């Protein structure tokens, strides 16, 4: 009788031990299946969440680290801006589709234009305000007969805010490369700004750049006005920025919306062009004020560029991009994306991953020790049978093969059932635990601070509810997960049968048959 038939007969004859072996492997297999299922679900969910992220990253100062460093040294640490040369270098990384950076124009005024402001939006806020006013309006705040407008300089002709979905172009066109390079007097304004001021596409906006003597007097006061320069900007495009009214709005979101619709997009070069005028004005009045800046030749070195935004080809590249960009940035500067949107879900999944890892490790150790001991005991009880086979001339290899077949047959059936049951239990339990943890986190009172120049601070959003996150928690049984489970389980079983196999290798038929023992 060949060893395969002997293995089958042995399983039938020793039914109790077969059931015991089956039960042990089945129980341990359930635990291993649960651990692998959870890890697989976490990997799939993380991938799905990252795929949905906007492929946006920004550069900003790590305020937490900077404050901690200043607290330790008791010294003020001054940080300049990231140089445009470095921004352009990071922009050459293969992950980057487009990038932009901003020179802000803050001292532009008009006595005829008004700011756009929608009081009705505040009625939709979380805490409605019936008498909301535009607190950024100079006419309201300071009672002066003019308004101040912010010009947002851009370097990317197609306007990255449009490509990234922050705003939508509704009329006209974006900039061309020559307008950006030459700093032409052209602008993009919002639809609501256009309507509030009775303007049309192709009209001109008159803004006055004013220099006040802020060193000795009060800004925005005619008494301290030193010089002015008029800018006539042609409206070449109109954009719209919308707020989702499906959910309750926060006051901060509304204020951010008002800020965006009141800013005018212009080429960076246009804003940079006021610096020579600024220098000439103060050089005539007080050269000492600008003494440290006289030797600076490149205008770019005098400006603090902000709103440094990178639009990537694929959101899955964010992790690699952040790592490489951070490697190039000076101290205290970091790169951020919108992955904080998934902070609650990530925290819950991290907890589940830790549980799954602990379960996998403990199950592996328990399987190796328990299964190895059980098989060794069973073989020792059958040493007389093995001795007879050897005495009759059977090779040890075939006897070992018989034992392996017995274990393999039981293992295949037990771990196959364990795979299905373990996966089902893991799906139900992990889903419930994550849901409970998300509810707990949502009920916690947390104060969140939005750091300057992070994607959130620039107006980029990625709205997703906890329920939507849970829907992405993918616990499906994939082929890769099945292969990993069978591969891992059989590897552990293989390790556990090493001591019994070693015992068989050392088995001597004469010693078994004559002495009834071994060793």
Listed in sequence order, the residues at least 6 apart from 206 whose beta carbon sits closer than 8 Å to its beta carbon are: 110, 112, 113, 230, 231, 232, 233
Instruction: Report d(CA 200, CA 281) in Å as an integer.
Output: 35
- Section 116-137 average pLDDT: 80
The CA dihedral of 7, 9, 15, 18, to the nearest 10 degrees, is: 10
How many domains would you assign to the chain?
2
Amino acid 433: pLDDT: 81
86-90, 160-164, 327-331, 507-511 — which is least confidently predicted?
A: 507-511
Residues 24 and 128 grouped into a single domain:
no
Q: Does residue 90 sit within a domain? A: no
Using the 3D structure, point to which of 286, 311, 336 is the last residue of a domain. Answer: 311
Could you list the residue range(s) of the whole structural domain that residue 362 is in?
A: 3-52+345-515
Instruction: Report d(CA 346, CA 457) in Å as an integer.
Output: 22
CA-based nearest residue to 431, from 465, 469, 485, 478: 469
Residues 120 and 218 grouped into a single domain:
yes
- Section 404-433 average pLDDT: 85
Residues 392 and 488 grouped into a single domain:
yes
DSSP track, 397-444: HHHHHHHHHHHHHHHHHHHHHHHHHHHHHHHHHHHHHHHHHHHHHHHS
Report the DSSP beta bridge partners of residue 190.
Answer: 239
Number of H helices, E strands in the chain: 19, 11
Instruction: Report d(CA 101, CA 96) in Å as an integer.
Output: 14
Residues 270 and 378 grouped into a single domain:
no
Amino acid 62: pLDDT: 84
Matching residue, tokens 């900003």 = 60
DSSP track, 109-136: EESS------GGGGGGBSS--TT---TT
Residues 199 and 257 grouped into a single domain:
yes
Residues 442 and 509 grouped into a single domain:
yes
Beta strand 96-102 pairing with 306-312: antiparallel
Which structure tokens are listed for 174?
A: 């974006």
Amino acid 517: pLDDT: 46
Residues 421 and 298 grouped into a single domain:
no
Residues 304 and 367 grouped into a single domain:
no
Residues 398 and 304 grouped into a single domain:
no
Q: Does residue 322 sit within a domain? A: no
Instruction: Report d(CA 285, CA 275) in Å as an integer.
Output: 16
| N- to C-terminal Cα separation, the chain | 29
Give residue-wise pLDDT tens across range 309-320. Answer: 999 999 989 989
In 10 A of CB 61, how many CB atoms? 16
Instruction: Report d(CA 355, CA 378) in Å as an integer.
Output: 33
Q: Does residue 428 sit within a domain? A: yes
Residues 497 and 360 grouped into a single domain:
yes
pLDDT tier, 410 (very low <50, low <70, confident <90, very high otherwise): confident
- Section 121-126 average pLDDT: 75
What is the overall mean pLDDT for the chain? 81
Instruction: Report d(CA 485, CA 118) in Å as an integer.
Output: 59
CA-based nearest residue to 98, from 167, 162, 169, 152: 162
More confident: 168 or 226: 168
Report the DSSP beta bridge partners of residue 153.
Answer: 266
Instruction: Report d(CA 431, CA 424) in Å as an integer.
Output: 11
| pTM of the predicted model as reported, rounded to 2 decimal places | 0.76
Residues 382 and 248 grouped into a single domain:
no
Q: Does residue 505 sit within a domain? A: yes
Residue 292 has pLDDT above 60, yes or no: no
Q: Does residue 339 sit within a domain? A: no
Q: Does residue 76 sit within a domain? A: no
Q: Does residue 411 sit within a domain? A: yes
pLDDT tier, 519 (very low <50, low <70, confident <90, very high otherwise): very low
- The top-scoring range by mean pLDDT among 167-171, 255-259, 287-291 is 167-171
Report the DSSP beta bridge partners of residue 168.
Answer: 240
Q: Does residue 327 sit within a domain? A: no
Residues 232 and 364 grouped into a single domain:
no
In 10 A of CB 172, how many CB atoms? 15
Crossing angle of helices 318-328 and 84-91, rounded to 10°: 150
Instruction: Report d(CA 470, CA 431) in Å as an integer.
Output: 8
Beta strand 225-240 pairing with 186-190: parallel
């Amino acid at each position: 009788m060949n060893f395969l038939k002997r293995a089958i007969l042995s399983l039938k004859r020793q039914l109790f031990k077969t059931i015991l072996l089956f039960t042990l492997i089945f129980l341990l297999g359930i635990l291993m299946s649960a651990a692998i299922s959870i890890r697989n679900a976490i990997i799939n969910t993380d991938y799905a969440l990252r795929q949905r992220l906007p492929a946006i990253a920004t550069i900003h100062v790590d305020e937490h680290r900077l404050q901690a460093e200043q607290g330790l040294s008791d010294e003020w640490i001054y940080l300049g801006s990231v140089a445009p040369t470095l921004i352009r270098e990071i922009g050459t990384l293969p992950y980057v589709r487009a990038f932009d950076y901003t020179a802000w124009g803050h001292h532009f005024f008009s006595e005829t234009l008004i700011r756009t402001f929608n009081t009705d939006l505040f009625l939709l806020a979380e805490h409605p305000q019936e008498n909301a006013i535009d607190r950024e309006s100079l006419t309201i705040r300071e009672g002066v007969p003019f308004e101040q407008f912010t010009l947002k300089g851009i370097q990317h002709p197609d306007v990255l805010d449009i490509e990234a979905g922050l705003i939508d172009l509704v009329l006209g066109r974006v900039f061309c490369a020559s307008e950006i390079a030459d700093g032409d007097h052209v602008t993009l304004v919002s639809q609501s700004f256009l309507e509030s001021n009775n303007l049309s596409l192709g009209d001109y906006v008159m803004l006055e750049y004013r220099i006040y003597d802020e060193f000795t007097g009060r800004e925005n006061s005619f008494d301290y006005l030193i010089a002015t320069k008029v800018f006539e900007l042609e409206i070449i495009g109109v954009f719209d920025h919308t707020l989702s009214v499906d959910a309750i709005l926060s006051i901060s979101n509304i204020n951010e919306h008002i800020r965006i619709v009141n800013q005018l997009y212009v080429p960076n070069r246009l804003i940079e062009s006021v610096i020579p005028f600024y220098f000439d004005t103060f050089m005539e009045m007080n050269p000492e004020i600008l003494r440290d800046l006289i030797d600076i030749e490149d205008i770019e070195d005098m400006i603090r560029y902000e709103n440094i935004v990178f639009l990537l080809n694929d959101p899955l590249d964010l992790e690699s991009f952040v790592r490489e960009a951070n490697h190039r940035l000076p101290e205290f500067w970091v790169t951020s994306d919108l992955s904080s949107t998934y902070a609650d879900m990530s925290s819950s999944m991290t907890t589940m991953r830790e549980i799954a890892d602990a379960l996998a490790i403990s199950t592996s150790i328990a399987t190796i020790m328990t299964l190895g001991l059980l098989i060794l005991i069973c073989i020792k009880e059958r040493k007389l049978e093995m001795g007879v086979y050897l005495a009759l001339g059977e090779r040890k290899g075939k006897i070992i093969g018989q034992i392996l077949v017995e274990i393999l047959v039981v293992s295949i059936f037990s771990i196959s059932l364990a795979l299905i049951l373990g996966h089902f239990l893991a799906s139900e339990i992990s889903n419930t635990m994550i849901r409970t943890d998300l509810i707990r986190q949502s009920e916690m009172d947390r104060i969140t601070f939005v750091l300057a120049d992070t994607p959130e601070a620039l107006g980029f959003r990625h709205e997703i509810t906890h329920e939507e996150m849970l829907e992405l928690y993918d616990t499906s049984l994939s082929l890769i997960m099945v292969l990993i489970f069978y591969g891992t389980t059989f590897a552990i079983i293989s390790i556990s049968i090493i001591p019994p196999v070693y015992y068989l290798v050392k088995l001597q038929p004469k010693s078994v048959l004559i002495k009834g023992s071994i060793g």
